């Protein structure tokens, strides 16, 4: 294999430069079994293609189509995929079935010493029967694995399966990388990508982190809707009830504004977010109009409109609960 120094590039890199502009060169590299390696700067051909101002989907797909060969986990390619952190989201933006082919290589069994340190049979002590753990190294020590093992009851007899995601990402639920990942997935329309085990794992992990937040938001919204419904049903004003109901509505409105600020394009496109924003704003407007003495018929119009939208949004919130989702 010829490698050009001092940059450490080979034929795969040259075939990925803008000047090459022909997917046939990529295919020739694959047919010639040229090693797919990063350069001295940890750049592969995909790095050059995805970070180029003018994308070339044909050459990108020519590489991704052969992911099972180029990124085969049996060929010790973890070091190669560790360089993909900076381009992983760009890959997901492609909406290509060959991205699914690549994702199928991103999830595999961990090293033998890791498997030896985790029980092969037992019962997982979580509601979802799954345990997620993140580490800064692909080979965590036994001490690092203790929190994971503590969630496994070894008296159980179910076979446990262990897998790991091969591309290093910042899996902190508040990290920019995880936020961008969710944005990219919301905008992606390729069903083949969502059928891959790797992406299902990432989505399940994100949901496991968001579950508590979603539960608390649903409870808060439910309390707010009950207070608002009672207030509208009364034939006379009860100022303390109105203030409490308005306060709940204001807190939810602040949360919506934060979400809209964090991802405005996605928020605007999402129908449920639009319904929620309209329902909350109508409810708050109704209270303000009532307090400044506007005609009661106008106030009731805002209240009834907010109540109708609020119940529509409430149904969507209740679908998060498994017992309710069967009927909704």
> 177 and 253 share a domain?
no
Residue 234, judged by CB atoms within 10 A of its CB (0-12, 13-18, 19+), counts as exposed
Q: What is the structure's pLDDT at 319?
A: 60
Mean pLDDT across the chain: 84
> 129 and 192 share a domain?
yes
Q: What is the structure's pLDDT at 320?
A: 57
> 251 and 310 share a domain?
yes
Q: Is residue 204 part of a domain?
A: no
Mean pLDDT of 47-68: 87
Q: What is the DSSP letter of 273?
A: H
Q: How many domains does the chain have?
A: 3
Mean pLDDT of 193-216: 86
Q: Is residue 312 part of a domain?
A: yes
| Contact by Cβ (8 Å): 272, 194 | no
Which of residues 106, 123, 157 is at a domain's end?
106
| Contact by Cβ (8 Å): 179, 262 | yes
Alpha-carbon gap, residue 107 to 68, rounded angstroms: 12
**pLDDT tens column, 209-232:** 777 777 888 888 888 888 888 988
What is the value of pTM for the model shown? 0.74
Mean pLDDT of 175-185: 83
Q: What is the structure's pLDDT at 34?
A: 83
User: Over 70: is that where the pLDDT of 328 sits?
Assistant: no
Alpha-carbon gap, residue 212 to 93, rounded angstroms: 29
Q: What is the structure's pLDDT at 8?
A: 63
How much of the chain, in percent, has pLDDT values that exceed 70? 93
> 64 and 128 share a domain?
no
User: Over 50: is that where the pLDDT of 327 sits?
Assistant: no
> 242 and 156 share a domain?
no
Would you place residue 4 in the very low, low, confident or very high pLDDT band (cuts 50, 70, 90)?
very low
Mean pLDDT of 182-195: 85
- Lowest mean pLDDT across 55-69, 171-185, 242-256, 278-292: 171-185
- Phi (first) and psi of residue 263, to 5 degrees: -145, 75
Would you place residue 84 in the very low, low, confident or very high pLDDT band (cuts 50, 70, 90)?
very high
> 182 and 255 share a domain?
no
> 218 and 318 share a domain?
yes
- Lowest mean pLDDT across 46-50, 134-138, 159-163, 251-255: 134-138
Alpha-carbon gap, residue 192 to 198, rounded angstroms: 12
Mean pLDDT of 16-41: 81
Q: Is residue 120 part of a domain?
A: yes
Mean pLDDT of 246-254: 89
| Contact by Cβ (8 Å): 42, 84 | no
User: Over 90: is that where the pLDDT of 151 sits?
Assistant: no
Mean pLDDT of 162-187: 84
Domain limits at 17?
11-106
Closest by CA position to 267, among listed 46, 201, 276: 276
> 98 and 116 share a domain?
no
Residues in the chain: 328
- Phi (first) and psi of residue 3, to 5 degrees: -125, 125
- Lowest mean pLDDT across 15-24, 58-67, 102-111, 226-235: 15-24
């Amino acid at each position: 294999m010829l490698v050009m120094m001092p940059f450490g590039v080979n034929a795969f890199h040259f075939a990925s430069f803008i000047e090459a502009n022909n997917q046939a060169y990529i295919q020739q590299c694959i047919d010639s079994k040229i090693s797919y390696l990063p350069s001295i700067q940890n750049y592969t051909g995909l790095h050059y293609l995805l970070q180029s101002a003018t994308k070339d989907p044909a050459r990108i797909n020519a590489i991704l189509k052969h992911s099972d060969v180029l990124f085969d986990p049996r060929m010790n390619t973890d070091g190669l995929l560790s360089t993909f952190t900076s381009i992983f989201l760009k890959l997901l933006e492609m909406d290509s079935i060959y991205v699914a082919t690549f994702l199928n290589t991103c999830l595999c069994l961990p090293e033998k010493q890791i498997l030896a340190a985790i029980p092969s049979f037992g019962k997982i002590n979580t509601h979802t029967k799954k345990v997620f753990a993140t580490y800064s190294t692909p080979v965590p020590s036994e001490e690092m694995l203790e929190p994971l093992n503590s969630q496994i009851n070894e008296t159980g007899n179910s076979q446990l399966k262990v897998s790991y995601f091969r591309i290093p990402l910042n899996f902190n639920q508040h990290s920019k990388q995880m936020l961008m990942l969710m944005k990219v997935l919301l905008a992606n329309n390729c069903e083949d990508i969502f059928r891959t085990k790797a992406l299902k794992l990432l989505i399940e992990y994100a949901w496991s982190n968001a579950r508590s937040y979603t539960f608390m938001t649903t409870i808060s919204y439910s309390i707010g809707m009950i207070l608002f419904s009672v207030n509208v049903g009364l034939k006379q004003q009860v100022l303390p009830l109105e203030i409490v109901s308005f306060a709940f509505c204001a807190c939810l409105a602040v949360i919506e504004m934060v979400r809209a600020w964090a991802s405005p394009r996605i928020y605007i496109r999402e129908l449920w977010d639009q319904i929620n924003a309209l329902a909350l704003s109508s409810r708050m407007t109704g209270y303000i109009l009532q307090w400044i003495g506007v005609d009661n018929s106008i106030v009731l119009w805002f209240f009834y409109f907010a109540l109708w939208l609020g119940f529509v949004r409430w149904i969507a919130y209740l679908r998060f609960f498994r017992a309710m989702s069967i009927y909704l």
